[in-house]
Amino acid sequence: MEIKELRLNHFGKFHNKAITLKSGINLIYGENEAGKSTIHTFIKGMLFGIEKQRGRASKDDIYLKYQPWDMPGAYSGSMDIEKSDKAYRIIRNFDKNTKSYTIIDITTGREINIKPEELPEFYGGLTESGYRNTISIEQLRAKTDQELEDEVRNYLANLSMSKSNEVDVTRAQSLLQDRRKELESLQLDNKIHSIKEELEECLEKEDRIEELTLQIKELESQEKLLEHEYRSASFSNEATLAYEEFLNHFPVMKEKYYNYRQDWNLIQTLKEKQNKQKEEERKILDNEKWKDYISDHLEELEDINNRISQYEQKKSIYMENYRGKVTKGISNLLIGLIPATLCIFSILFWINHKYPFLLALAVLGGLGFIGSLFMVKHSKEMQNSMEEEYKILEDTLKQLKTRKQSILNSNHVVSEVELKSRHDYYLKSVMSLGHLKKQIEDYEEQITGISERIQIIEEELRKYFQTFADVFHKEKLPAFEISDSSLSLWEKYISNEKQVIADLKDHRTKRYEEIRLKKEKIGWELKGLEDNEERLLQQTKELEELEKQAKDNEVELSAIKLAIETIERLSVDIHDSFGWKLNQLISDLAGAITDGKYSNVKVDEKMNIKVDQQDNYILLDKLSAGTIGQLYLALRLAISDLVYGKDNMPILLDDCFALYDDNRTKAALRFLTQNKKGQIIIFTCHKREKEFLDGMQADYNYINLNS
């Protein structure tokens, strides 16, 4: 069988990746994380599928490791193979929800129906364990496991029987062991002993039946005498029956009392809630007063703020007018100085020159100065008037601000915003008053309804306990009150009364009941012994059959034991007789791989390897890691050729030369190129394999995953 092409649709890191493989050596190179192990796993998955692990195994789950995270439903691929000169395509969907596989004959296009258990036969006898232990070799995983031992063991047995492929030694041993356990688990000796004990018990029961028959006849005679004795004494006392029925009604009244107590407690709870609501109502009413009080203050503050704003505006106007008056007074004074100066200079010039017009100018200047003096005086009077009005305005503003602060202080706040917030709180509280009153009314209605129910129950209780005296004329009764202690006394009294009635009944019917019970007991015992005779016959027959079966089983167990011992002995003989072929094949392969250093290798029936060195066979674990790897490689190749036919299966080597030095690697590659004619797929992260193959001028198919 050869692998021709791989198509990794969505597998691990690959999406729509196609890889073409050829006969002979295929060298797949890639650095770490390039996808070599992904391709190796893909090949195994295409052949045998990939199952999702559960439990502890899920931490190393191959299924999850290579499932594409971006497209989990597209977890699939295909692989073309060629076997017996025919080409086939294997298509698999690995997704756990839509898992499937299809095998198609590429030449005809027909789908081949092959069941999962028939796949090894389709692959030329290659099983998953055979794949893992022979043709697929991974780094540090060269050693084989127990499953390979079983396969080789079967092969050698078949070889000894003219290469028939119908013998499965391990399964034969397993079936014989299972049959031996099945026979031993029957425990026939214990069953025979048990049946003998049952037979003895049946004989004892026959004696018991005769004894019970005599006892029941005697009881029937006593019963007839008692019936005649009590025929005239009837117990049908209607008054007693009525009183007993009345007593039996006590649990109902007790339940009513508990309902009464529950209702009483419920009323107390409702009253407590109602009182809390009423207290809340009183607080809300107080809040309503505060709300009105604060509302008045807020209105007053609004008015004060408006007045302050107005006065501030007037104050600003007064200041502007006042400054205008002062400026005007100064201007009048300065203007008055001009005519005064004119008057003085005119007088001075008139004294020296005596011109009449100078005297007229002096008079006019004096009149102008006098007029300016009157205007300055008027301006001063206006200023004084404005200053008085401004002072009044200042005092008014101070009073308004003082009142504003007084309002805030009286409400224990520092700002109007805080006072407004408190007013809003009281307003909301007052608005909830209607709902609160509705709750109080609802509680009142509930209390009224429960109180009426309590009153009815109380009347029923008093009527019931009063009936003892009024109807049944009982004396020395405990006083009834609505309390736990009173109910306890009455419960004790009623219990005693019922016991008196029961004792009276027992006294009258005791002897008759004893006879009836004895008769009934004997009747049940006889009924239980009705099938004793049939059981006795059945046990006798079963004992005979078991004794015969025990004898036959003893003969079969002896035969099984002999068969197991014979198979174990023959397995060793078969290995000694035909194992030489495996030893010869592995010795030839080991000699070629190790350049003749180890050409005499022995493999026992447990797949343990020993090598001949200086006439002494040395166990494999005494050799170097590189040598161990070479010998296990030779073992796998030898078993592959032995079990599946020489060069019939592709060989997959995944970095298995990692522990080899250059000489060992060259020797292994030389052996593979010269001695193996089938398909070989080598995965490596090193470039030396390519260099060695090029140096040997070997023909090989090179695939670079990094390009």
What does the pLDDT average to over 7-29? 93
Which residues on adjacent β-strands are paired with residue 383?
Answer: none
- Angle at the Cα of 653 (from 650 to 654), degrees rounded to 5? 135
Give helix 625-644 / helix 532-593 axis angle, nearest 10°.
120
* pLDDT surpassing 50 at residue 155: no
Q: Which pLDDT band holds residue 568 (cuts at 50, 70, 90)?
A: low
State phi, psi for 27 to the nearest 5 degrees.
-105, 110
CATH architecture of 1-126+649-707: 3-Layer(aba) Sandwich (3.40)
User: Which structure tokens are listed for 482?
Assistant: 């609505």
pTM of the model: 0.45
For every residue of 260-320, which 3-state class applies, written as one string?
HHHHHHHHHHHHHHHHHHHHHHHHHHHHHHHHHHHHHHHHHHHHHHHHHHHHHHHHHHHHH
**Among residues 116, 107, 101, which one has the least CA distance to residue 82?**
107
Average model confidence (pLDDT) across the chain:
78
Residue 513's contacts (CB-CB under 8 Å, 6 or more residues apart) are: 506
Q: Which pLDDT band holds residue 391 (cuts at 50, 70, 90)?
A: confident
Assigned CATH topology for domain 142-185+553-648: Rossmann fold (3.40.50)
**Among residues 115, 118, 125, 117, which one has the least CA distance to residue 158?**
125
* pLDDT surpassing 80 at residue 361: no
**Among residues 144, 150, 125, 86, which one has the least CA distance to residue 644?**
125
Q: Which amino acid is at 546?
A: L
**Of residues 151 and 682, more confidently modeled:** 682
- Could you give the residue range(s) of every CATH 1.10.287 domain in the chain? 281-433
**Which of 153-167, 231-245, 447-461, 498-512 is predicted most confidently?**
447-461
CA distance 90 to 322: 112
**Of residues 15 and 567, more confidently modeled:** 15
Asked if 89 and 106 touch (Cβ cutoff 8 Å), the reply is yes
**Of residues 146 and 110, more confidently modeled:** 110
Q: Give the three-state DSSP class for 115.
A: coil
**Among residues 619, 497, 683, which one has the least CA distance to residue 25?**
683
For every residue of 136-205, which 3-state class applies, written as one string?
EEECCCCCCCHHHHHHHHHHHHHHHCCCCCCCCHHHHHHHHHHHHHHHHHCCHHHHHHHHHHHHHHHHHH
- Could you give the residue range(s) of every CATH 3.40.50.300 domain in the chain? 1-126+649-707
Q: Which pLDDT band holds residue 584 (cuts at 50, 70, 90)?
A: confident
User: Within a 10 A sphere around the Cβ of 29, how many other Cβ atoms?
Assistant: 20
Residue 471's contacts (CB-CB under 8 Å, 6 or more residues apart) are: 246
Asked if 431 and 285 touch (Cβ cutoff 8 Å), the reply is no
Q: What confidence score (pLDDT) does residue 596 get? A: 75
Q: What confidence score (pLDDT) does residue 232 get? A: 42
Q: Which pLDDT band holds residue 110 (cuts at 50, 70, 90)?
A: very high
Q: Which pLDDT band holds residue 20 (cuts at 50, 70, 90)?
A: very high
* pLDDT surpassing 80 at residue 662: yes
CA distance 41 to 11: 10
Residue 409's contacts (CB-CB under 8 Å, 6 or more residues apart) are: none
Q: Which pLDDT band holds residue 292 (cuts at 50, 70, 90)?
A: confident
What does the pLDDT average to over 680-687? 93
Q: What is the DSSP string of 435-476?
A: HHHHHHHHHHHHHHHHHHHHHHHHHHHHHHHHHHHHTS---S
**pLDDT tens per residue across span 210-230:** 888 888 888 888 777 766 654
**pLDDT tens per residue across span 456-474:** 888 888 888 787 776 766 6
Which residues on adjacent β-strands are paired with residue 20?
Answer: 5
Asked if 4 and 81 touch (Cβ cutoff 8 Å), the reply is yes
Is the sign of the CA dihedral 252, 253, 256, 261 positive or negative? Answer: negative
Q: How big is the chain, counted in residues?
A: 707
Query: Which CATH entry fits the domain spanning 281-433: 2.60.40, 1.10.287, 1.10.3470, 1.20.1180?
Result: 1.10.287
Of 336-340, 465-469, 616-620, where does mean pLDDT reach its minimum?
Answer: 336-340
